[in-house]
Structure 1
Amino acid sequence: MVRFFKRVSSQAVVEIGIKTVNMVTLKDIAQKTGFSLSVVSRAMNPRPDQKVAEKTRIVIEAACRELGYQPNQAASLLARGSNASIGLFLPRAYGEMVGQLMTGLADIANHHGFAYNAYFGNNDEDYLEFIRYSHRIQSAGIITYLPNYLNSNLPELLTQLSGRGCQIVLLNCAGLKLAGVQTVCIDNYFGGREAARRLLETGCRRFLSTRTDPQTSWQLQERLRGFVDQLALHGITAEVPVIHRQDDYRIADADFLREIAALARSRVPAGIFMPTDYEAISLYDTLARENLLDRIGDSLRIIGFDDLIVSNLIYPALTTLRQPFQALGEISMARLLNAMVKADLPVDLNRLKPQLVIRASA
């Protein structure tokens, strides 16, 4: 397993990018108010047997607001016997997804003074090592993808970890319901509906998408469901053939590819929603071999999903749905810290809706 360790200092100065921010400490509050450090500490961390006078508390809280004091929640977890470090398990993948996701996770964790350990993997063995490590160090919280949530052992391990007091946030696993475990998901259903709306706007008369059997990806299921439901609102039934594809998402179904070429030649406007950009781009290969690339955006309108870098470089450029991975990271970390230390961070789930990027293909 590849591991990447990022530590955020709990000292008085933390560097964020090229900007240095002075962190206000309890000692600063004590100096401003004239109270002892122990009195300030009791006021900021009240216990039934260690109360301070009401007037004292009001003065100290006013000083905290004036100086912009933020309590060190990580230190408070350590004081209660929990490891304040957060465990992250993310897919080992190429492209922008992991980078954007890590940016969102890191921005929130860094701002609130929490260290985190990032693990990258794509199989059950990697994941089991991550879970064992999180259990061994008694992590206070983890944020995780599941490499294969159809494996019944993995959800059981998460349930056991949650039962020991570890807060858990699952990414893009809404189809999996576990007691005590939160889920944060990109709204793939909304993305599918957006694709259907766009193809309706462009005047398409036939509408196609695809599915595999079995369909193991919950995200792909939701995209297709949104597409079909949006068309149904207009009395239209989408054509959804079962296709075969290779491990790299390249379509390997000769009958379907012949149908796509026939649609391009027919000049009857047809809209095709492919659940990933990889699959959409694979249609370009077929159309290029048939000298039909010029039909994309005309009789054949194609929409993908993911907004890969290459999607804007191919010709004609691919209309697609851009996933908000940075927002997914920020919101999942906020949800975790809210559960771990009652941070009361705002969470706006509307930020998890994919954005339609209109280009030449549709």
Structure 2
Amino acid sequence: MKSVGIRDVAKAAGVSITTVSHVLNETPNTRTSESTRERVRDAASELGYSPNRLARGLRTRSSGMIGLLTEDIATTPHAGRIILGAQEEASSHNLTLAIINSHVDAGAAARRADARELIERHADGIIYATVFHREVSVPVELRAVPAVLIGAVDVQGLVPAVLPDEATGAANLTALLVAAGHRRIGFTNSSVDVPATRGRLIGHLRALAQAGIARDDSLIVSGLSEASGGYAATLELLSRRDRPTAVFCYNDRMAMGAYRAAAELGLHIPRDVSIVGFDDQAPIAESIHPSLTTVALPHYEMGAWAVATLTRLIQGSSDAWYLSTHPTLMQCPVVERHSVGPPQLVKSISNSATDLNL
């Protein structure tokens, strides 16, 4: 079959080739009427016209492709929405998204090689997404093209970034516990010192201070940010004579371990102890019983923001410096389920009637 070209569209619409080019390429500052634009689009649609992207790339020096360089995100279930958000936003700009996924522990040399591969394939820009919120040294190769970060901060402050507002999300979650009547709240934190670890604790302590609750460092226990770490930390907190009536877990995996600890101690959730998590990780948060009240990370929104921002930078936006020095924070909403209830009269694990405390 003969391919349909721009001349065929121009003939069908009764306009010049130049007019078709302006309309289909959305050339700004042209005097083409809306009725003519509609006629051209209808003709192109009826004829099944598809622009020659290779020819356009040679003319505009643009490939129409952007790269997504990830750390384990393509294989991490709860972060897959980053890719979905980026993909749908890229499609809305008629861009192709190329993904290279590498291991979170890959060294600097591997990261630079991944960036070079995308650049050699003529990516117009690159998104660098990390598996969790932390500070990174961006590969020097990314200076060759516009770039943005998802979930990370460039230690040199040269690359625009979008981050989850974990401090505010944590503060809102603690405020929910306080509103339910809790005043003695345990906090199981990650033992790894990254921005997420610091931000979630900062938000928790901020909400306590705003509620007039004094900080008690004995209620803050760190461990591995996995179920095993949550189990050990929560077991320590709930075995105390003056145990907390609620436990805020660093993430949903630690909350899974907290559920196990509570069960082993004969405590019912949320009647005897309320437990909350962070991340809204599927399928954990909805599948454990009772379903977990937690905080959702804005994966989809960050992916879409990254592509939209990268598109502006590729087109020559002048706000690159501001975005590089002022990371964008995305709201982390609280997702209420069934693991929070009002505090009951607290009884120590010994079940002695003399051990009753408020």
Q: Give the TM-score range, shorter chain.
A: 0.7 to 0.9
Per the TM alignment, residue 318 of structure 1 is displaced from its structure 2 partner at its CA by 1.4
Please, what is the CA RMSD of the aligned residues? Answer: 4.0
Per the TM alignment, residue 219 of structure 1 is displaced from its structure 2 partner at its CA by 2.4
State the alpha-carbon separation in 1 of the partners of residues 128 and 306 from structure 2. 10
Per the TM alignment, residue 138 of structure 1 is displaced from its structure 2 partner at its CA by 3.7
1:84·1:140 contact (CA, 8 Å) conserved in 2?
Answer: yes
Q: Could you tell me which residue of structure 2 aligns to residue 279 of structure 1?
A: 254
Q: Could you tell me which residue of structure 1 aligns to residue 352 of structure 2?
A: none
Report the residue type matching 2:91 in the other structure.
N
Q: 1:271 to 1:27 in 2, by over 3 A?
A: farther
Q: Could you tell me which residue of structure 2 aligns to residue 201 of structure 1?
A: 179
1:145-156 alignment, distance < 5 Å: 145-146=129-130, 154-155=137-138
- Gap regions ≥5 residues in structure 2: 45-49, 318-326, 341-358
Report the residue type matching 2:64 in the other structure.
A
Per the TM alignment, residue 205 of structure 1 is displaced from its structure 2 partner at its CA by 1.4
Q: Alignment partner of 1:210: what SS?
A: strand
Q: Could you tell me which residue of structure 1 aligns to residue 277 of structure 2?
A: 304
1:61-80 alignment, distance < 5 Å: 63-64=36-37, 78-80=58-60
Report the residue type matching 2:306 in the other structure.
S
Superposed CA deviations along residues 72-100 of structure 1, whole A, max 9, x for unmatched, are: 89775543434432111223255533332
Q: Alignment partner of 2:164: what SS?
A: coil
2:65·2:96 contact (CA, 8 Å) conserved in 1?
Answer: yes
Q: Alignment partner of 1:235: what SS?
A: coil
Q: Is 1:331 the counterpart of 2:305 in the alignment?
A: yes
Q: Could you tell me which residue of structure 2 aligns to residue 346 of structure 1?
A: none
Q: 1:206 to 1:147 in 2, by over 3 A?
A: closer
Q: Could you tell me which residue of structure 2 aligns to residue 245 of structure 1?
A: 223
Q: Could you tell me which residue of structure 2 aligns to residue 142 of structure 1?
A: 126
Per the TM alignment, residue 356 of structure 1 is displaced from its structure 2 partner at its CA by 1.6
1:215·1:221 contact (CA, 8 Å) conserved in 2?
Answer: yes
Q: Could you tell me which residue of structure 1 aligns to residue 333 of structure 2?
A: 355
Per the TM alignment, residue 113 of structure 1 is displaced from its structure 2 partner at its CA by 1.8
State the alpha-carbon separation in 2 of the partners of residues 328 and 213 from structure 1. 26
Q: Could you tell me which residue of structure 2 aligns to residue 226 of structure 1?
A: 203
Q: Could you tell me which residue of structure 2 aligns to residue 169 of structure 1?
A: 148
State the alpha-carbon separation in 1 of the partners of residues 62 and 301 from structure 2. 28
2:275·2:292 contact (CA, 8 Å) conserved in 1?
Answer: yes
Q: Alignment partner of 2:229: what SS?
A: coil
2:13·2:39 contact (CA, 8 Å) conserved in 1?
Answer: no
Q: Is 1:123 the counterpart of 2:105 in the alignment?
A: yes
State the alpha-carbon separation in 1 of the partners of residues 279 and 79 from structure 2. 13
Query: Which of 148, 151, 160 does residue 182 from structure 1 map onto?
Result: 160
1:90·1:98 contact (CA, 8 Å) conserved in 2?
Answer: no
Q: Could you tell me which residue of structure 1 aligns to residue 356 of structure 2?
A: none
Superposed CA deviations along residues 79-135 of structure 1, whole A, max 9, x for unmatched, are: 343443211122325553333222111112123221121112222345333112123
State the alpha-carbon separation in 2 of the partners of residues 255 and 339 from structure 1. 45
Per the TM alignment, residue 249 of structure 1 is displaced from its structure 2 partner at its CA by 5.2
Query: Which of 76, 79, 82 does residue 98 from structure 1 map onto?
Result: 79
Q: Is 1:88 the counterpart of 2:72 in the alignment?
A: no
Q: Alignment partner of 1:361: what SS?
A: coil
Q: Alignment partner of 1:200: what SS?
A: helix
Identical amino acids, percent of aligned pairs: 21
Q: Alignment partner of 1:58: what SS?
A: coil
Q: Alignment partner of 1:209: what SS?
A: strand
State the alpha-carbon separation in 2 of the partners of residues 300 and 185 from structure 1. 31
Report the residue type matching 2:169 in the other structure.
G
2:125·2:314 contact (CA, 8 Å) conserved in 1?
Answer: yes
Q: Is 1:257 the counterpart of 2:235 in the alignment?
A: yes
Q: Alignment partner of 1:237: what SS?
A: coil
Report the residue type matching 2:304 in the other structure.
E
State the alpha-carbon separation in 1 of the partners of residues 88 and 288 from structure 2. 33
State the alpha-carbon separation in 1 of the partners of residues 247 and 51 from structure 2. 52
TM norm structure 2: 0.73
